[in-house]
C-alpha cells in the first residue's frame, strides 16, 4: 500500500502527459495518417505506457481522453506548431502550413519550420504524382529561408504538369533523432494542380495545434538522411523526377476552332493534271472533301478527292488524295502527227487518273489559303482496238496478204505531279 501511495502520483502525472500528447497527435492537426501518427507517438510513450499498463483503470481513462482529443481536433488541414521538447533525444519539431492547390505549370513554394535544439539535418521534401507508387517519390532538400528554422523549396514548373501532387516532409536532427514528418509516405499531403492562376494556400489557423511528430529513437538514424543525400547527389533533379516528369507535359489538344467554315471553293493548276475548279466541303474540321470540273487544255473532266489538314496553322501540312476522269480529249492539239489514222486515234483520248500528294497550305484554314503540292499521279488510258487496227493496217502492213486485228490497247503511267492552288471558305 505504501508503495502504491508513492507510485500513484507518478502514474497520475504520466497519464496526464500521455493524454496531452494524444490530443496533439498528427491526425488532429495536420491531416496525416492516424495510424502512422499513432505509431510515432506510440514510440515516444512506450515507457510511459508500460507504467500505465500497471493500472487498467487508468489506461481506460487515458484512452477515453485520447478519443476525446481526436474528436475535438479540427477537420480542415491546419498548420502545426512546434512544441518544445525538453531533451535532445527528441526528433525535430515540424510546423507546416499545407499547400492545397497550385497552378499547372507555375512553380510554387512549400515551406516548413523545423526546430530542434541540437540542429536540424535539412528537411527533405518527398514529392510524387498523385496516386503514383511510393517508389516514385522524388526527394528534394529544402533550403534555409529567412529566419532560423525556416526552410522552403520552390517546386519547379516542370513538376507541376500533372493534375495532382502528393508530398510529405521529413527531418532529422543532428543526433539522428527522427524522422519527424509532416505527412507520410503512405498518407501524404495532397496538392491539387489546377489551371487557374490562383494558388490557394490554407488560411492561417486561428489556433494552431501543436504537434510533436517523432519516430522511435535509435531506429537507424543515419540511414534515411543518407538515402536522401544519395538521391540528391547521384541523380540530378531532372532524372530523379522522371517519374513525375514522365507524365508528358500536357500537349495542347487539337481542338476544332470555333466558327469554322464549312463550304468553299478551290481553284488549282498543275502538271500533268491540268487545272480545275472545285467545291469544298468540310464535314470535319480536319477533313476537306472536294469535287468539281477539271480541264487540261485538250479536254474536260471531272474529279473529286479528300484533303487531310491536321491543324489550323498558318502553314498547314496536308495529305491530298484525288481521282478523276477526262473524257474524249483531242490530243492533236498538242501533237503534230500527220498520219490520218494516228490523228483519229488521238482525237478521242480519255483517261482516268489518281493522285496522292503532300502539300503545304499557307494562310487561314478558316477563310483563305494557297498551297503547293507534290506527289505521284497514276494515269491510265485506253485506245480503241479499231483505231489501233486502222493505224497498224495503214502504217505497217504493206503486204496485201497480211491483215492486222488489234485489240484495245492501254497506256499506264506513274509520274510525278505538282500543283498550285488556292482555297477560300466562306460559309
**Chain contacts with other proteins (rule: CB under 8 A):** 375-376, 388, 392, 395-416
CB of 343: closest distance to other proteins in angstroms? 17
Dihedrals φ, ψ of 359, to 5°? Answer: -145, 170
Output DSSP code: residue 284. E
Query: How far is Cα 206 from Cα 208, in angstroms, rounded to an integer?
Result: 6
Sequence-ordered list of residues with C-beta below 8 angstroms from that of 191, at least 6 positions apart, any chain: 99, 100, 101, 102, 108, 164, 165, 166, 167
- Is 220 or 413 the residue whose CB approaches other proteins more closely? 413
For the CB of residue 338, give the shortest distance to other proteins in the complex, in Å. 15
Task: Say if residues 95 and 29 touch (Cβ distance below 8 Å).
Answer: no
Q: Which is nearer to other proteins, 10 or 415 (CB)?
A: 415
Nearest distance in Å: CB 403, other proteins: 5
Query: Of 10 and 396, which has the nearer Cβ to other proteins?
Result: 396
The helix (run of H) or strand (run of E) holding residue 191 is: strand 189-194
Please report how close the Cβ of residue 316 comes to other proteins at its closest, in angstroms: 18
CB of 415 to other proteins, least distance (A): 5
What is the closest distance, in whole angstroms, from the C-beta atom of residue 330 to other proteins in the complex? 20
Among candidate residues 138, 99, 95, 386, the one with its CA nearest the CA of residue 243 = 138
How far apart are CB 240 and other proteins at their closest, in Å? 34
What is the signed CA dihedral for 397, 402, 403, 405, rounded to 10 degrees? -90
Of 56 and 398, which CB lies nearer to other proteins in the complex structure? 398
**How many CA atoms, within 13 angstroms, populate the side-chain half-sphere of residue 354?**
4
CA distance 109 to 45: 34
Nearer to other proteins, 68 or 412 (CB): 412
Q: Is the peptide bond before 216 cis (omega within 30 degrees of 0)?
A: no
Between 248 and 400, whose beta carbon lies closer to other proteins? 400
Closer residue to other proteins in complex, CB, 226/413:
413
Based on CB atoms, which residue is closest to other proteins, 393 or 424? Answer: 393
Minimum distance of other proteins from residue 397's CB (angstroms): 7
Beta partners for residue 267, in sequence order:
277, 422
| Min separation Cβ 423 and other proteins, Å | 25
Torsions phi, psi of 232, nearest 5?
Answer: -75, -40
Which cell is 159 given?
513538376
The whole-angstrom separation of Cα 293 and Cα 381 is 19
Nearer to other proteins, 115 or 388 (CB): 388
Among 143, 144, 126, 123, residue whose Cα is nearest residue 135:
126
List all residues 6 or more positions away from 381 whose beta carbon is below 8 Å from its beta carbon: 349, 350, 351, 352, 410, 411
Amino acid at each position: 500500500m505504501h508503495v502504491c501511495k508513492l507510485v500513484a502520483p507518478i502514474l497520475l502525472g504520466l497519464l496526464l502527459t500521455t493524454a496531452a500528447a494524444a490530443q496533439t497527435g498528427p491526425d488532429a492537426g495536420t491531416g496525416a495518417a492516424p495510424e502512422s501518427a499513432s505509431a510515432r507517438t506510440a514510440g515516444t510513450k512506450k515507457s510511459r505506457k508500460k507504467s500505465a499498463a500497471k493500472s487498467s483503470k487508468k489506461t481506460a481513462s487515458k484512452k477515453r481522453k485520447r478519443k476525446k482529443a481526436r474528436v475535438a481536433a479540427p477537420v480542415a488541414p491546419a498548420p502545426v506548431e512546434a512544441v518544445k521538447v525538453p531533451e535532445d533525444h527528441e526528433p525535430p519539431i515540424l510546423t507546416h502550413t499545407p499547400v492545397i492547390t497550385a497552378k499547372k505549370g507555375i512553380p510554387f513554394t512549400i515551406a516548413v519550420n523545423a526546430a530542434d535544439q541540437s540542429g536540424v539535418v535539412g528537411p527533405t521534401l518527398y514529392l510524387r504524382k498523385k496516386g503514383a507508387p511510393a517508389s516514385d517519390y522524388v526527394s528534394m532538400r529544402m533550403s534555409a529561408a529567412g529566419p532560423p528554422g525556416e526552410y522552403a523549396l520552390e517546386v519547379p514548373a516542370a513538376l507541376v504538369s500533372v493534375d495532382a501532387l502528393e508530398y510529405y516532409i521529413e527531418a532529422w536532427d543532428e543526433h539522428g533523432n527522427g524522422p519527424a514528418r509532416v505527412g507520410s509516405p503512405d498518407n501524404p499531403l495532397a496538392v491539387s494542380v489546377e489551371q487557374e492562376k490562383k494558388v490557394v494556400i490554407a488560411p492561417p489557423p486561428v489556433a494552431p495545434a501543436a504537434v510533436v511528430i517523432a519516430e522511435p529513437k535509435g531506429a537507424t538514424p543515419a540511414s534515411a538522411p543518407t538515402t536522401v543525400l544519395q538521391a540528391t547527389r547521384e541523380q540530378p533533379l531532372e532524372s530523379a523526377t522522371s517519374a513525375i516528369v514522365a507524365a508528358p507535359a500536357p500537349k495542347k489538344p487539337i481542338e476544332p476552332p470555333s466558327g469554322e467554315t464549312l463550304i468553299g471553293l478551290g481553284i488549282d493548276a498543275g502538271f500533268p493534271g491540268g487545272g480545275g475548279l472545285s467545291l469544298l466541303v468540310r464535314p470535319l474540321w480536319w477533313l476537306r472533301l472536294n469535287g468539281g470540273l477539271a480541264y487540261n487544255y485538250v479536254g474536260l473532266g471531272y474529279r473529286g478527292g479528300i484533303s487531310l489538314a491536321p491543324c489550323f496553322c498558318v502553314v498547314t501540312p496536308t495529305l491530298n488524295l484525288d481521282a478523276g476522269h477526262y473524257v474524249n480529249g483531242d490530243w492533236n492539239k498538242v501533237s503534230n502527227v500527220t498520219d490520218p489514222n494516228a490523228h483519229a486515234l488521238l482525237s478521242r483520248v480519255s483517261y482516268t487518273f489518281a493522285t496522292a500528294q503532300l502539300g503545304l497550305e499557307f494562310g487561314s484554314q478558316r477563310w483563305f489559303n494557297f498551297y503547293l503540292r507534290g506527289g505521284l499521279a497514276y494515269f491510265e488510258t485506253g485506245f480503241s482496238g479499231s483505231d489501233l487496227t486502222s493505224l497498224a493496217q495503214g502504217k505497217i502492213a504493206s503486204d496485201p496478204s497480211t491483215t492486222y486485228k488489234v485489240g484495245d490497247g492501254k497506256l499506264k503511267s506513274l509520274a510525278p505531279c505538282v500543283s498550285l492552288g488556292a482555297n477560300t471558305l466562306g460559309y
